Structure 1
Amino acid sequence: MNHILCGLAANPALPSELVDRLITVADDEIATELAARPDLSHAQALALAALGEGTAVHLAYEGRLTSADIDPVAQPQAALALLDAGAGLPEWARRFATDPVIERREKLAACPDLPPDVTDTLAADSEIAVVAELALWTTPDMAARLARHPHAEVRRAVAANETTPPAVLEMLLTGDGLPPALRCLVCDRERTPTAHPHPHPHPADDLPPGAFCTGSHESTVHDMWRQALSNPATPARAAAGFAGHSSALLRWSLAARPDLPPEVWGRLADDPLPGTRADLAENPAVDATHLRALATDVSPDVRRSLAHNPRVPLDLLTSLAGTVKIGATLLPRIAVASPAEVESLATSPDPAVRMLLAARRDLPPGIRDALAADTDAKVLKSIAPHPGLSEARLRDMIDHHGVRVLAKVATNPDASPSLLEHVTRHDPPVQKAFREVARHRNATATSLLACLTDRRARPLAAAHPSLPVPVIVELLSDAEGRVAEAAAANPSLPSAMMLKLTP
């Protein structure tokens, strides 16, 4: 890998004529960087597409190529990418529908808005992988038709398709109105595609773990049920019947559904699987009574999920604040707290509650400044990135809490150049703070030079446009390839040096 040329290819200040020169020598890595340039001309996109089909596929998905630019015979993957993006030609779809390469037919089957004759051809394909892919993405009418397919793998894909009609999804769960499936992937790999003496995993590498069949295609049918239960188009009445199923995975699939009756919530709240209870706890449709019951769950994962529920009662959330590790994240319920609730949270005696509020970035100035004067370091770490904080308050945080808040102060978008220099001079140093300073828009040459002393901050500093030009040039020969590449991508690199570096 040529780090210098890859960096140049990504440099936003690279002149167009040097882009042309790089295209002539580009390998796959350089071509990938060039293809991502927003200033790429159509002529340059065509030249890049001619280098390799991988690059052509990327450019097709990015809208940089049209159907007039692609020969489906010479670049079939790029043509399929255009079809997938809705910009291909119908005659291409007809060509690929009978392509001898299975993977191309499978890719086509996932494309939107295919002509009806093409979907008919794909639905009759001899390769089940092609038909299953079509079933996963096709229209409601074709999904209903494929639900009757004799292969269980196709029905499993129909169950996952969110455009499948609700009545058809219910039939897939109950079996009513559908002929039994005749085959599955396990059957396809056995000499006798009928009942086997006992359930057993199959040795084929392309089958999922635990795949087995005793003649009823058990593992595939189970997965079909799981897909249907997770499908929001499946009627709630049909899904609710699985709340007492012996399969933990099927019960788990129900827990996130917003349309189940309260009696099902009650059963799932007592489920032995913590994952089921955790998904239920985060379900915004669950009523307060069941949420309060889940707040006493023995599993910390369940209580943590409850804290992330956008409709959790605020008093319940505050009671959870000190009992589960939530981390530096803005909880949905905190994000929509009313002005009166914000006032109440800001004056909570529990610092864990104040920390949750401090994660908001739209607090009134008075509350923001009050939290910035908090005596608890975890509250200060949460509020430190809030826009609008004065330099005096940010410096005061550092003076009183030092290394515990240093990195968070460095993430504040309004941190001044002098404050960032102050952060890099702190003793003892905090390595993460160097990385935050190195990516900050207000970093100065002085602070960036300090960041170069940290191994992980070094490539970030090398890419910063405020780094002195002589240092950028020096870093082009750095022993660490990532650093040299970042220096080559630095927009402050002189154009004369770019010219010198370009073959």
Structure 2
Amino acid sequence: MAWVFARRKQQPPLPDEALIRLMTDLLDPPDDVPFANYELFEELFFADWSRVLVAVRHPDPRVRRFAASHAWRDDLRFLLTDPDPQVAAAAAASIAEQDRLMEPADLPGQHCHAFWWVLQRPLSQALAEQVAASDDVEAIQYIINNPTLPPDIVEMLSHHPEAGVRARVAGRADLIAERVAALAADPDPAVRAVVATRTGLTGEQIDALAADPDDAVRTAIATHAYVSEGERAILAGEADLDPQEAVRWARSENPRLRRRAAQRPELPSDTVALLAADPDAAVRANLALYHPGAPGELLLSCFLENRDRTKLLSLPQFPESGLSRLADHADPVVRLLVARDPDADPAVIAHLTTDPHQSVRKAMARCPRLPSDRITALLNDAELAADAAANPSLDWRTVVEAL
């Protein structure tokens, strides 16, 4: 059920009008649906929590009652004055429940919706100690993000044997200075790399991390420590990057600034050439994706690096000529590009109709540069007949005569 309600990648959210109709239908599901209405609403909300914001304004008070048991505290205030007394009472009860400290008895015995829901709530000392002392690393990492985690548990987890746990602790904004200093000297580079992304590091800590033997740590400190407050605001999306400032950023030693600069579509040609040869792969990828003047070869190289392939192929400057040289590439997705080459040797296209990968065979069967005799032959191939029949170069007169 969660799979049915889930929002797919790159799929826009359902419009509010559609959600309202869906929620109305869920109130009284058909008899052959093996779920109660409250279970359907739980799955609907769990798949996308923003849907609760639609539910709290639904015209049917029964839907608003379901929303009252799922919405966060700030959204529930809207329901405290609901004209339906049952909705208002449910909202008040939900706020009181959300303020209640979670105890060990509240935590289900296995991972489920309710398990993670409890660990997001205010944690009692007893429950925090229980989770922290368990072998459930996933749950431990989860509670580290909880702002109500007691300081002594944060301190204890900063010494946890799992580096992933210590790294999660290193990302907490409320760490005391002594704990930051200890984590900055952690034996695991993954922990030190997280510390290197923090603000407020001392000069000595910055210098030590900049000289770290691990490349990821040095990169992290270089891309986060040497950034002004104004630059941080731009990187966080709180302010816009001026075109002239973008040119300066494109020449910065900080790859974070260069990555952001590469997203500006109005960069001059000399700056585009500079960024196209940038040693940082993310800089080159951003330029390829966002700048209309990015060289076609740059787009192809980013494609070969398996970066945003679908979007790159949709760009008008993606190259076509010369792609047949990729006919022997190990990646079948790359071999598919040969069909886009207007100058591809027909013999190469014909050879790829026997490619080990089905998607390549089918693409070549539809390619208009496939030799006519091979197209006709594929009409008798059970797998590729439909693709060959869709080939725009198919000579139907010859086929009809043969029949």
State the TM-score, normalizing by the size of structure 1. Answer: 0.42
Letter in 2 for 1:85: L
Q: 1:476 to 1:84 in 2, by over 3 A?
A: farther
Superposed displacement of residue 313, structure 1: 1.5
2:194 to 275, 279, 301: 279
**Which structure has the higher relative contact order (CA within 8 Å, separation 6+)?**
1
Ranges in structure 1 where 5+ consecutive residues have no aligned partner: 1-31, 37-59, 88-110, 116-137, 175-180, 185-216, 316-330, 493-503
The residue type equivalent to 2:323 in the other structure is: T
Given the alignment of the two structures, is residue 141 of structure 1 paired with residue 97 of structure 2, yes or no? yes
* Distance of 2:97 and 2:290 partners within structure 1: 51
Hey, what's the Cα distance between the residues in 2 that align with 1:251 and 1:356? 29
Cα RMSD, aligned residues only: 6.3
Distance 1:459 1:472, change over 3 A: farther
The answer to whether 1:366 aligns with 2:269 is yes
1:262: Cα distance to partner? Answer: 2.9
User: Which residue of structure 2 lines up, in the alignment, with residue 172 of structure 1?
Assistant: 127
SS class of match (2:156): coil
Q: Matches of 2:111 and 2:317 in 1, distance apart?
A: 60
- Aligned partner (choices 310, 322, 329) of residue 431 of structure 1: 329
Which residue does the alignment assign to 1:388? Answer: 292
Aligned to 1:12: none
Residue 285 of structure 1 deviates from its aligned partner by 4.0
Alignment of 1:275-424 (within 5 A): 275-282=190-197, 284-285=198-199, 287=201, 289=203, 290-306=205-221, 311-313=224-226, 339=243, 342-344=246-248, 346-347=250-251, 360=263, 362=265, 364-371=267-274, 382=285, 383-384=287-288, 387-389=291-293, 394=296, 407=304, 411=312, 413-415=314-316, 419-420=319-320, 422-424=321-323
Q: CA deviation at 1:371?
A: 2.6
- For this pair of structures, how many residues does the alignment match? 311
Q: Deviations over 1:196-222 (max 9, x none)?
A: xxxxxxxxxxxxxxxxxxxxx953598
Q: Secondary structure at the match of 1:172?
A: helix
Matched AA of 1:424: L
Which position in structure 1 is the counterpart of 2:359? 459
Distance 2:153 2:281 in 1: 43
CA offset digits 1:14-56 (Å, max 9, x no partner):
xxxxxxxxxxxxxxxxxx9xxx9xxxxxxxxxxxxxxxxxxxx
* Among candidates 229, 243, 252, match of residue 144 of structure 2: 229
Aligned residue for 1:266?
181
Where structure 2 has 5 or more consecutive residues not aligned to the other structure, the ranges are: 9-18, 47-65, 71-93, 229-234, 393-403
The residue aligned with 1:85 is 44
Contact kept in structure 2, 1:451 and 1:461, CA below 8 Å: no
Q: Secondary structure at the match of 2:105?
A: coil
Partner SS for 1:228: helix
Q: Give the whole-Å Cα distance in 2 for the aligned partners of 1:456 and 1:281.
A: 46
Query: How much identity, in percent, do the aligned residues show?
Result: 18
Distance 1:279 1:269 in 2: 9
2:159 is matched with 245
Identify if the C-alpha distance between structure 1 residues 68 and 144 changes in structure 2 by more than 3 Å, giving closer, same or farther.
closer
